[in-house]
Chains A and B, each alone.
Chain A
Amino acid sequence: MVTDALFKFVLPSHPRYLRVVRAAVGELGSVSGLPAEDCRAVILAVDEALANIIRHAYRGHFDRRIEVTCQAFADRLEFDLLDQGEPPDPDRLAPHPLDDVALSGRGTHIIRSIMDEVSYEQAPGGNRLRLSKRLPAVLSGVEEEGKS
């Protein structure tokens, strides 16, 4: 029996494909029961992570390989992003207080604000960023458990 869904995209690091991934992430969130506002947030988080890969890991080259794996489990959504570009600057990945006037650096803050878990590793296949978001049924289950 199969209950978990897995969708994998292999795409060039060109911004034109971002909206394709956004659409897929939104639909997956929607059928998994995420409320509309959370769906928009998760779309944004995945999109910001892809934009970081294009801008920083691939330094604006639009013809490199990105693998995006989207998984829907009973309790969470997981997004796995793999690239073969420059490893990220650890300082950029770390949580920072937002500077009111800074023009850049908001993407990582957005990702951390939205997702429940964010982890990075240098895997054999390249840089792997994993983003995880709990689904509402689990959240309400935890609340009910806490009340009893």
Chain B
Amino acid sequence: MNATIRSNQGTTIVDVTGHIDLGSSPALRKSMLECIKNNDRMAVNLSEVKYIDSSGIASLLEILKEARNTRKKFVLFGLTPGVREVLQLTRLTGVFEIYESEDDVVKAAKG
């Protein structure tokens, strides 16, 4: 798993690649928590995520809670079928704000 952070028109984008599992989700959780503390709008790009387990989903959920508690925006985009299926299995599809693409995230930010 690798996570890199960049900015696109006021939104902080976290590009995640590879496998998010029991071994890698603590590192991802840590970098996302740091990121949400320092940015008002954060979007996680999941288009290159080959696999995610419930520990990865729990990490995303924790960042969402942190964002809500601190009145910040946290969204997901580029969900692969595998990621979408895990969100459906855990019945969390409706809990996250999900966009198809980065363009959609940026457009939504502009309102």
Tell whether A and B belong to one assembly.
yes
Interface residues of A (CB under 8 A from B): 14-16, 18-19, 22, 37, 40-41, 43-44, 47-48, 51, 54-55, 98, 100-101, 103-104, 106-107, 109-110, 113-114
Interface size class of B (residues with CB under 8 A): 20 to 34
Q: Which of B78-96 contact A (CB under 8 A)?
A: 81-82, 85-86, 89-92, 95
Partner of B85, one of A41, A98, A101, A103: A41
Residue B62 at the chain A interface, CB threshold 8 Å: yes
Interface residues of B (CB under 8 A from A): 19, 21-24, 51, 53-55, 57-58, 61-62, 65, 81-82, 85-86, 89-92, 95
Bound form: Cα–Cα A47–B86 in Å: 13
Those 3 A-B pairs whose CB atoms lie nearest each other, nearest first? A15-B23, A106-B54, A15-B22
Which partner residue on chain A sits nearest B59 by CB separation?
A103
Contact between chains at B91 and A98 (CB < 8 Å): yes
Residue pairs across A and B with Cβ atoms less than 8 A apart, 6 shown, are A16-B23, A40-B81, A40-B85, A47-B53, A51-B53, A114-B89
Min CB distance, B57 to chain A, in Å?
A: 7
When A100-B95, A106-B58 are in contact, do A19 and B89 touch as well, CB less than 8 Å? no
Contact between chains at A40 and B82 (CB < 8 Å): yes
List A contacts of B62 (CB < 8 A). 103
When A37-B85, A98-B90, A101-B65 are in contact, do A48 and B19 touch as well, CB less than 8 Å? no
List A contacts of B23 (CB < 8 A). 14-16, 18
List B contacts of A100 (CB < 8 A). 91-92, 95
Contact between chains at B65 and A44 (CB < 8 Å): no
List A contacts of B92 (CB < 8 A). 100
When A41-B85, A101-B65, A113-B89 are in contact, do A15 and B58 touch as well, CB less than 8 Å? no
Min CB distance, B87 to chain A, in Å?
A: 11
List A contacts of B95 (CB < 8 A). 100
Min CB distance, A13 to chain B, in Å?
A: 10
Contact between chains at A15 and B21 (CB < 8 Å): yes
Contact between chains at B89 and A110 (CB < 8 Å): yes
When A98-B91, A106-B90 are in contact, do A51 and B21 touch as well, CB less than 8 Å? yes
Contact between chains at B90 and A18 (CB < 8 Å): no
List B contacts of A15 (CB < 8 A). 21-24
Min CB distance, B96 to chain A, in Å?
A: 11
